[in-house]
Amino acid sequence: SLQAGLAVLLKAERLFHSSYHSQAVHIRPICRVTHWFAQLPCGEFNCDSSCLAVSWELRQTLTVVFDTFSSGQGKKDWSLFKMFSRTLTDACPLAEQSKVYVDISPKNKEKELLEVTPPPASLHEAVVQGDKRTYAVYDLLSPSLFNTSRSLNVQLKWKRPQDSSDLPTPILHAQRYVSGYGLQTGEISTLIYNTHPYRAFPVILLETVPWYLRLYVHTLTIITKGKENKPS
């Protein structure tokens, strides 16, 4: 059972009630060598005879999207308990790292509008898609985190009401719809938008095909800025 660490948030009825969830398992060979370039993926090191040994790396990820604005009667406030119906009580005893990152980057630099509780012990800054982002960091392995409380319920509140017009448009966003019907006229259309004024971004598109549609590769079309691109 999932009784410790971040895994306690994996409550099935809450995850499957979300707007989107995706689980992935990544397995790749890792070449272990004694030189300075150790721990390179085999694709970069070729895993040839110069490798002393090869290990297999297993990485599991879970991505969940909650529409808290709709479920919260038009409010952007949220908390771990509101989303997962649970809070964090301790770290996984086997984990070397166990951290929660909360994006507290304000719109239009209005820092006074955001209030995150409890106050984070540290902040982390990173550049994401050309924009500087600020994250509040909660380290579950820190001894002081659970000293004042037996559980961690991260909450983010806005000090004044925000309406839907204040929601920023992401630089990269997409729309997807199914049209037509049957094997002859049914089709899936995915529209990807890049609103950045000058920068291009690499995009990996993963499509989940409905069971009632059968796709044919020769019917795939890619249109960019009104011109058709032939897929390789």
pLDDT tens per residue, range 161-213: 555 445 567 888 888 888 887 777 888 899 999 988 888 888 888 887 777 77
- Tell me the three state secondary structure of residue 152: strand
- Are residues 202 and 126 part of one domain? no
Q: Helices (H), strands (E): how many in the chain? A: 5, 13
Query: Alpha helices, DSSP H only, in 18-76?
Result: 42-45, 68-71
Quote the number of domains for the chain: 2
- Token pair belonging to 86: 């649970």
Domain boundary among 134, 165, 196: 165
- Token pair belonging to 11: 């409550």
Mean pLDDT of 41-48: 54
Instruction: Point out which residues pair with 124 in neighbouring strands.
Output: 135
pLDDT of residue 38: 44
Residue-wise pLDDT tens digits, 105-156: 876 655 557 788 898 989 999 988 777 888 999 998 888 887 767 788 999 8
Is residue 125 in some structural domain?
yes
Residue 131 contacts residue 169 (beta carbons within 8 Å): no
- Are residues 210 and 155 part of one domain? no
What is the spatial distance between Cα 139 and Cα 5, in angstroms, rounded to a whole number? 11
Domain boundary among 165, 187, 202: 165
pLDDT of residue 164: 47
What is 117-133 written as a DSSP string?
Answer: ESPPSEEEEEEETTEEE
- Are residues 158 and 103 part of one domain? yes
What confidence category does residue 59 fall into, taking pLDDT thresholds of 50, 70 and 90?
A: very high
What is the spatial distance between Cα 208 and Cα 199, in angstroms, rounded to a whole number? 28
Mean pLDDT of 80-107: 87
pTM confidence score? 0.64
pLDDT of residue 14: 85
pLDDT of residue 138: 92
- Are residues 156 and 178 part of one domain? no
- Are residues 220 and 152 part of one domain? no
Q: Which domain holds residue 195?
A: 172-229
- Tell me the three state secondary structure of residue 100: strand
- Are residues 192 and 112 part of one domain? no
Evaluate if residue 221 carries a pLDDT over 80: yes
Is residue 34 in some structural domain?
no
Is residue 9 in some structural domain?
no
pLDDT of residue 136: 92
What is the spatial distance between Cα 188 and Cα 219, in angstroms, rounded to a whole number? 11
pLDDT of residue 160: 66
Under DSSP, the state recorded for 102 is E
- Are residues 160 and 193 part of one domain? no
Beta strand spans in 33-77 (E): 40-41, 53-65
Q: Which DSSP helix (H) or strand (E) runs through 81?
A: helix 80-84
